[in-house]
């Protein structure tokens, strides 16, 4: 049962244009959402996050939007640059019995920026 | 600064053989530690997490086990590997910082079981 879904396995965008990556979730207990970026042969690195009490968080070229009623979030990258080519994972967080965060990841979207 | 190490980077093992993957973290104390697996076509699946030495929580039933013999060492093991154990294994750490802590991932181990 995939609680976090990224339905687009790949996306190609022209350099300078906007990249929009989408993510849907099913579990209403998720209250924090994160995006991770992964280059080949490396572990994922944290990119940006958003609390469920917000609907938008912006950090430079990266903006994450959250629509709680639709259980949908998206990552906007503008303008897109060649270095943005990577696999992007959406993740949703719950708190364990020990108080630490547990992340549930989507399957990832491979973003390719075309020069 | 903190760094996380995983080894080996790649591993090919026959079905039924044992497994031991090691993860160590440097530059921090009492981190939360995690093991994830990404199987083909699947997202990153949380396998185990630990909030302290000897404290291991398992997320999914499987023939894998985890141990934390030292504060900054996390080991993933199996007595007999199955074909379905093939995948990309990632170790991660985070600090006990309340909400909004982020997890920092190691480079991963690609395991192929033949």
Q: What mean pLDDT do residues B26-30 have?
A: 90
Say whether A89 and B43 touch across the interface (CB within 8 A): yes
Res B47 pLDDT > 90: yes
Query: Which of B39, B43, B95 to mutate to probe the A interface, most A CBs <10 Å?
Result: B43
- Of residues A2 and A21, which shows the higher confidence score? A21
d(CA B52, CA B69) in angstroms, rounded, equals 10
Question: In this structure, what token pair is assigned to residue A90?
Answer: 């959406």
Q: Which residue of A has its CA nearest to B59?
A: A102
Q: Quote the DSSP letter at residue A66.
A: E
Query: Given CB atoms, is A39 within the 8 Å cutoff of chain B?
Result: no
- Residue A97 burial (10 A CB sphere; 0-12, 13-18, 19+): exposed
Choose the weakest-confidence range: A65-74, B19-28, B47-56: B47-56
DSSP letter string, A6-29:
---SEEEEETTS-EEEEEEE--TT
Q: Which residue in A6, A43, A100 is closest to B105 by CB distance?
A: A43
Confidence of residue B61 (pLDDT cuts 50, 70, 90): low
pLDDT one-digit tens code per residue, B82-100: 999 999 999 999 886 555 5
The Cβ of residue A57 has, within 10 Å, a number of other Cβ atoms equal to: 15
Q: What are A10's two structure tokens?
A: 């790949």
Q: Does A94 touch chain B (CB under 8 A)?
A: no
How far, in whole angstroms, is CA B45 from its chain's centroid? 11
Interatomic CA distance for residues B111 and A9, integer angstroms: 22
Contact: B102, A102; criterion CB under 8 Å? no
Nearest CA in chain A to B105: A43
Q: What is the pLDDT of residues A15-65, one digit of tens each?
A: 999 999 999 999 988 989 999 999 987 889 999 999 999 999 999 999 999
Structure tokens at B71: 């504060």
Check CB contact under 8 Å for A51 and B41: no
Question: Model confidence over A82-95: pLDDT tens digits?
Answer: 999 999 999 998 87
Any CB–CB contact under 8 A between A1 and chain B? no
């Amino acid at each position: 049962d995939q609680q976090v879904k990224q339905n687009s396995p790949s996306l190609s965008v022209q350099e300078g244009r906007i990249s929009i990556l989408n993510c849907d979730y099913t579990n209403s207990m998720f209250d924090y959402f994160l995006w991770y970026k992964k280059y080949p042969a490396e572990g994922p690195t944290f990119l940006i996050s958003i609390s469920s009490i917000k609907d938008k968080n912006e950090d430079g070229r990266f903006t994450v939007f959250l629509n709680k009623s639709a259980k949908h979030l998206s990552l906007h990258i503008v303008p897109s640059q060649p270095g943005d080519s990577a696999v992007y994972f959406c993740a949703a967080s719950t708190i364990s019995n020990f108080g630490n965060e547990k992340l549930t990841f989507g399957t990832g979207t491979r973003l390719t920026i075309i020069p | 600064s903190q760094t996380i190490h995983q080894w080996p980077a790649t591993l090919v093992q026959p079905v039924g053989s044992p497994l031991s993957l090691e993860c160590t973290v440097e530059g921090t104390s009492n981190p939360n530690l995690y093991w994830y697996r990404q199987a083909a076509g699947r997202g990153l699946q949380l396998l185990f997490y630990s909030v302290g030495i000897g404290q291991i929580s398992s997320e999914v039933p499987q023939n894998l086990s985890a141990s934390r013999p030292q504060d900054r060492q996390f080991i993933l093991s199996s007595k007999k590997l199955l074909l379905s154990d093939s995948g990309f294994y990632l170790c991660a750490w985070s600090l006990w910082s309340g909400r909004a802590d982020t997890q920092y991932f190691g480079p991963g181990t690609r395991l192929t079981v033949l």
